[in-house]
Every structure is written in structure tokens, then in C-alpha cells.
Amino acid sequence: MGKLPSELAYVPFVSVENMMKNLNSYGVEEFMVGIAKYIEEDFLRWESFDKKPRIPAHAPQGVIELMPTDDGETFGFKYVNGHPDNTKEGRQTVTGFGVLSELSTGYPVLFTEMTILTALRTAANSALAAKYLAPKGSKTMAIIGNGAQSDFQCLAFKSMVGITEIRAYDIDPEASIRLARNLANSGLNITICKTPEDAIEGAQIITTVTADKKYATILTDNMVGSGVHINAIGGDCPGKTELHKDILLRSDIFVEYPEQTFIEGEIQQLSEDHPVTELWQVYAGKAAGRTSDEQITLFDSVGFAIEDFSALRFVRDLLPKTGYFEKLDLLADPDDPRDLFGMVLRSRDAGNGAVA
């Protein structure tokens, strides 16, 4: 436990170990509810942010992306990758880290892991959208794709939407067994299903969260009836989709940032003049969300920098309460700001870093 450092040379750093300590001390579900609150706050001031699609570096195996934004006072960015075949080598499909900085000085005020934090903010963002878009009184959610993100999605929908029943399907049955085992004491009733069709039977919400970097059809048109909410979060880069195009044509589509979603989301299958609604407008009461019992609502989620900014703000504000962070010696801080080389000389003379 400790206080945030005031020394200019040090930046609060949240390692994976300390992120887990923060998470467990606060509570997983409470943590996601907190992130969702910050996301909603930031979406309500959407127009104050500098917005741009993320910056990708693509390879056959996956993608590395930088996701920057600022609100005129604070700058934030996330480094994140997506490599579906990593799990074959015992690596995570998605990893990340993030930074918050003062725009006025350029000095970072937070450096943190974002592999765990991205899973938390993605689930929080999904559940927040569903509060506005899902059928009222929804109790059953199908989740197709039971990998690393699925546990968080289930818990976020339990806490924020009131889901009690989970119908789980994955092409690897062991993934569904793992999900059921992890959530055994969560208060959710988990049913492992043998087919996607079985999973969506009776579900008011359908979450697709698969990882393959390819045009895929996880849901065909005849699988989706009227009145459901689809939370499509697996398609998040060019050439990667989960839904048949005909589902999109029957749905009212909600997105984070159209300029990015038309490149990376399910709607890359449509022309760029196809009507979509930006979520911030729904939160602000400037656009309608769910308007009828028969309506199919689709949240075409690809993840946007403002959501990461919100998650970083939440963690920054949490640290003084938990103290679970380290003081990272990240910034050079010479006695005279104009004499950086003098700092090097003094270090040499003091015997620091000498090589025999």
C-alpha cells in the first residue's frame, strides 16, 4: 500500500500482479460496473474528444494496433495485438498496455497493463450498450465463443443487465467446460450446448465472441428471430466477421465510431451509406435505441480508444484508494532540465552503470 508518487521522475505503474490485486480487492463485477460508468460519462462528452480510427500493422498471423485519443486535457493510448493462433503456443490472443499523460506537459501520469483491463472494459462496454438496446427483462444470453473474454462478458451482463441464464457454445467443448467451471459460484446458471442453434434457443441476447481472423458466418440469417439483441464483438479488423450479411440488413445497427467500424466491423460487408446509429447519441438521448418488441438490435462492437481512455481514468482514480501500484523510474529528471548529458556524467562519476 502507498501514496501516488509526486516525484517528476516516477510514473505510477500497474503490473499484471497489481492489476489482479486491484481487481480482487475491488471485486470483478464492481470493477466492470465502475468502468461502464466512466465510459458512459465520456460518451456523454463525445464531442470534446479527438477521434480517429486506430493505427494498425497487419501481418498474416494477426494485427498490432495503437489506439490514441484525448479530451483536450489528458491524452491516452493503448497498444494492443490480436493474434488468434497464439494460443497454440501458450500465448494470449490479445495483449496490451496503456498510458495516460498530461497534454499540458507531455508527462505520463499512468502506465498500466491492459490485457486484463481490455477484457474488463470490453465486457463493461457490451453490457452498457445492452442496457439501452436489449429487450427489457432479458434473462437469457447465448454466448458463442467461450475463450478468454467470455467469462467477463457473462459477469458484466449479470451485474448490469440482469442476466441469470447462460447458454454456452464453442467449437472446442473444453472451452465451454472451463467457462462453466469458472462461473460455478457466480450465481449464473450455465448450460453447455452442442450447437450454436441450441445455444440461441430462448435467448433474448446473443453474444458472439470468436477469434479467427477471417470472414466467418457464426450466425446465419435463419438462426436469428425477431426481438433479440446481438452483441457482436468478435469481428474487429478488416477481413474478420461473424454474422451473415442478411442479418445486418434486418437489424438496427449501433456502432461506436462509424469511420472505424466500416473498416473493421460487421458492417464492412455493407456500403458506407448504410444507416447506423452512434451509441453516444443513444446515451445522450439524441437517437432512439430499442423501439419495439420485434426489433433486432445489433451492437457492432470493434472497441474504440475512448473506452480505453475511460478504463485508464478509472484505474488512475482507483489507485489512491488501493495503493496497488509501483513507482516506475521512467522519466529522466536532471537537476537542470537543459543538462541531460550532465546527468549522464554524474551517473558515470558515481559509478552507476559502469561496465568492467
Question: What one-letter code names the amino acid at 113?
Answer: E
What order of strands is seen across the sheet that includes strand 277-278? 189-192, 165-169, 140-144, 205-208, 229-232, 297-300, 252-255, 277-278
**236 carries an active-site annotation:** yes
Strand bridging mode 140-144 / 108-113? unpaired
- Length of the chain in residues, anyone? 356
Strand partners, 112: 14, 98
Question: What one-letter code names the amino acid at 246?
Answer: D
Distances (CA, A) of 58 to 54, 66, 83, 122, 233: 12, 12, 10, 22, 19
∠ CA 38-42-43, rounded to 5°: 115
Cell matching residue 231: 452483441
The answer to whether the Cα torsion of 111, 119, 274, 298 is positive or negative is negative
Among residues 236, 273, 317, 333, which one is catalytic?
236
Q: Is 323 left (phi over 0), alpha (psi -120 to 50) or beta?
A: left
Q: Rounded distance, CA 318 to CA 19, Å?
A: 11
Question: Counting beta carbons within 10 angstroms of the beta carbon of residue 326, is it exposed (0 to 12), middle (13 to 18) or buried (19 or more)?
Answer: middle
Q: Rounded distance, CA 84 to CA 284, Å?
A: 36
For the annotated catalytic residues, the residue numbers are 236
